[in-house]
Amino acid sequence: MPKPHRVTIVESLCKGQACALCAQVCPASVFRPADHPTPQGIMPMQAAYPEKCTACHQCDQLCPDLAIDVIAEGAEPAPLPARGGPFPRPNPMGGWVERPALLPAGSYFMSGNEACAEGALAAGCRFYAGYPITPSSEIMVHMAHRLPALGGTFTQMEDELGSIAAVIGASWGGVKAMTATSGPGISLMLENIGYAIMTETPCVIVDVQRAGPSTGQASRPAQGDIMQARWGAHGGVDLIALAPWSVQEMYELAIRAFNLSERFRVPVFLLADEIVSHLYETITIPPAVRTFERVRLPQDMPFDTPEIDGVPPMPAFGEGAYLLVTGSTHDGRGYRRTTDAAVQDKLVRRLSAKIRHHQDEIDDWEAYMLEDAERVLVACGSTARSALWAVQAARRQGQPIGLLRLRSLWPFPDTVVAAHCRGRGEIIVPEMNLGQLAGEVRRAAGAPVTSLTQVDGEPIDPRRILAYLQEGRW
């Protein structure tokens, strides 16, 4: 008598009679329900009559839980291909390096958008995905021309949702990646920006702010996205935002945005505005730039650190880390923990603390004539150019007044603002929105704050600020 084929069910995997596909597909009635429950309380199926098995292999190929093995007598199961390495591990240590700037050192005359693209390339950006939108499109066009020759990738996507999605995907591929857009595009990107925060994915988002809300005035400047950048993604944890005021700073802060993004594994906003993006100025390209390279050290905890404010190393796809990247609440290895209060609490607090506790590495500002100033203007972006002109004009007339220009907006530089504003007679905040920056300054300043708002889609005329300083008229 021939030996029977072997049929086995792993009871702990079986989901029992509610499924029972094995029993129903089997032409030889091998299976029946067991007479004892599993620890999960399921009555599993069992191969009660293996001697009847004809090794037709219908059950093991239909089982949704891969719980059934059938070994035909005298036959060997097909072997599986080997797995595991060797895996490429490019520069696992990462950290600060100095690299030559791509363009030869010297003076260049270019627009803010072009300078932004050149800064990103100098920082090592080799992936751009975007969608056309005024007033940011020149960044995309410049990248489309420059990236292929640098071995990088440019792709124009079907919408902004797809653009930021592709950027995050590329970043996990181990490539520094960015996109640029304006307010309407940011509105579409916000869900995936939240995903980048949650998955700790470095990426840079340039927001060339234009007058809103909605379509608004596409080619006119505004600073109406300051709060959107910080609070737009649901869940409300921290990210970083920088605000350039010149073409030179479009270049320099684009580099800094990438460095902070890689250093802290967080999306970084470059909050530009239509004026600095379309302005043409002469800028200086240095011989070398300092960049922060991703720490890729392979380890089994790419999503947690022993410290409450740490930044975990980030291996890339294809390096054998078997990454489990998810926007769901996850533990240090990436496993979903969607009902675990302690994991959720720890994760959300670390995502915030890794930024907040390192604010001294992030805060960036310039002080002008503040030593003896009784009144202080606080401004950012192109508005700060108008503010500086007004301060200089008022100084010539003998007014003790100064300017604090914020180059980093998020996390908000509370200590910087307090240090320069506390005890002064008046803090004056001009801006192209209805008081977004003023609200933050009021919270931090420790001095009376006056909010000067302008939302007509025009740049703030420096003479208008001067008139306020002279006559209190706005």
Partner 1 sequence: MAPASASPLASDLRAAYLRQSTAFCPGCGHGIFMNAFLRAAAALPLDFDRTVFVSGIGCGAWVPSPHFLADTLHVTHGRAVAFAAGVQRARPDLNVVVISGDGDLANIGGNHLIHAARRQIPIKVFCLNNWLFGMTGGQVSATTPRTARTATTPAGNPDPPFDLVRLVLGAGAPFAARWPVSQPRQLARGILHALQEPGFAFVEVLSICPTHFGRANEALLPGEAAQSIPWRMLEWLRRNCVGRERAAGLPPEERAGKILTGEWRGEEGWP
403 makes contact with partner 1 (CB under 8 A): no
Nearest Cα neighbor of 379 from 347, 427, 321, 419 is 427
170 makes contact with partner 1 (CB under 8 A): yes
How far apart CA 416 and CA 46 sit, in angstroms, is 70
Q: Which of 48, 71, 102, 418 binds partner 1 (CB under 8 A)?
A: 71
Q: Which of 53, 68, 266, 465 binds partner 1 (CB under 8 A)?
A: 68
How far apart CA 111 and CA 88 sit, in angstroms, is 39
15 makes contact with partner 1 (CB under 8 A): yes
Site for partner 1 (CB under 8 A): how many residues?
Answer: 71
38 makes contact with partner 1 (CB under 8 A): no
327 makes contact with partner 1 (CB under 8 A): yes
Which residue is listed with tokens 């503040």?
A: 370
Report residue 118 as tokens: 């050149």
Rounded to the nearest whole angstrom, what is the least distance from the CB of residue 229 to partner 1 in the complex?
19
Restricted to residues 82-121, the positions that interact with partner 1 (CB under 8 A) are 83-85, 87
Nearer to partner 1 (CB atom), residue 89 or residue 336: 336
Stretch near partner 1 under the rule CB under 8 A, chosen from 18-26, 214-222, 287-295, 442-450: 18-26
How far apart CA 283 and CA 417 sit, in angstroms, is 29
Contacts 24+ apart (CB under 8 A), 101-105: 101/285, 101/286, 101/287, 101/288, 101/289, 102/150, 103/285, 104/285, 105/285, 105/286, 105/287
Nearer to partner 1 (CB atom), residue 288 or residue 324: 324
Q: Which of 2, 74, 80, 342 binds partner 1 (CB under 8 A)?
A: 80
> Is the distance from CB of 298 to CB of 321 less than 8 angstroms?
yes
Q: Which of 1, 2, 3, 18 binds partner 1 (CB under 8 A)?
A: 18
How far apart CA 380 and CA 362 sit, in angstroms, is 16
- The secondary element (H helix, E strand) that includes residue 166 is helix 160-172
Q: Is 437 exposed, middle or buried (0-12, 13-18, 19+ CB in 10 A)?
A: buried
144 makes contact with partner 1 (CB under 8 A): no
DSSP one-letter string for 330-343: B-TT--B-TT-HHH
Residue 165 neighbours by CB under 8 Å, 6+ apart: 157, 192
Restricted to residues 372-401, the positions that interact with partner 1 (CB under 8 A) are none
Rounded to the nearest whole angstrom, what is the least distance from the CB of residue 452 to partner 1 in the complex?
39
321 makes contact with partner 1 (CB under 8 A): yes
How far apart CA 83 and CA 415 sit, in angstroms, is 53
204 makes contact with partner 1 (CB under 8 A): no
Nearer to partner 1 (CB atom), residue 145 or residue 290: 145
158 makes contact with partner 1 (CB under 8 A): yes
How far apart CA 365 and CA 89 sit, in angstroms, is 38
Q: Which of 49, 108, 317, 365 binds partner 1 (CB under 8 A)?
A: 317
55 makes contact with partner 1 (CB under 8 A): no
Nearer to partner 1 (CB atom), residue 79 or residue 306: 79
Rounded to the nearest whole angstrom, what is the least distance from the CB of residue 195 to partner 1 in the complex?
5
Rounded to the nearest whole angstrom, what is the least distance from the CB of residue 80 to partner 1 in the complex?
5
Number of Cβ within 10 Å of residue 248's Cβ equals 18
147 makes contact with partner 1 (CB under 8 A): no
268 makes contact with partner 1 (CB under 8 A): no
Nearest Cα neighbor of 116 from 258, 218, 253, 260 is 253
233 makes contact with partner 1 (CB under 8 A): no
258 makes contact with partner 1 (CB under 8 A): no
Nearer to partner 1 (CB atom), residue 115 or residue 203: 203
